[in-house]
Amino acid sequence: MKATTPHDLLPLTPAVFHILLALMDQERHGYGIMKEVEQQTEGEMLLRPGTLYQAIKRMIELGMIEETDDRPDPSLDDERRRYYRVTGLGRKVASAEAERLRKLLALARNKQVTAFGAPS
């Protein structure tokens, strides 16, 4: 099920891309990912348990993230929490997606598409 190249996995869904971004700087558990995504999108994206774990399952299958037994601070944590970390492939996929979006944005700017709609 693992993809051969990062580009095989593009484009990413917003949920998958945000989860990857949330895991870029540190390992997190489900609730941690949910809060980080909420924070990084200023509350625009609220991941519910169903959507979050569906995306996590898919990302594990594709080799973009992996489960880890490490706990940043075991004393503060519940054993039922499962931590996830981004893999090498996951980092490459995130870079490729960012590059894809950069090109798309450049194209939109070139066509003078602004945040308020198409040019008059």
Partner 1 sequence: MESFASVSLSQKIFSRLLVLYPRGYREQFGPHMSQLFKDCSREALALRGTTGLITLWLATLPDLFKTAFEENFKEITHMSKEKFHRLGKWAFVLGAALFLLAFVIGGMETSTEDPLGGPDALIEYFKLGIGPLAMLLFFVGIASLRSAYGDAAGSVAKTMLSIAAIGSLIGGIGAIGMGLMLSGEPWWYLFFGGAMFMLLGIGVFGVYCMQRKVLPGLSWLFALGGLTLPLLSLAQIVFQLATDTQANPAEWASQLALGVTSLALLAAGLQLQGTQDIAPKTAKR
Query: Binder to partner 1 among 39, 68, 81, 104 (CB under 8 A)?
Result: 81
Q: Does 46 interact with partner 1 (rule: CB under 8 A)?
A: yes
Please check whether residue 114 is in contact with residue 106, taking contact to mean a CB–CB distance below 8 angstroms.
no
Q: Does 76 interact with partner 1 (rule: CB under 8 A)?
A: no
Query: Binder to partner 1 among 26, 39, 40, 54 (CB under 8 A)?
Result: 54
Which strands form 83-86's sheet, in the order they lie side by side? 28-29, 83-86, 65-68
Q: Does 78 interact with partner 1 (rule: CB under 8 A)?
A: yes
Query: Binder to partner 1 among 50, 74, 117, 119 (CB under 8 A)?
Result: 50
Element (H, E) at 85: strand 83-86
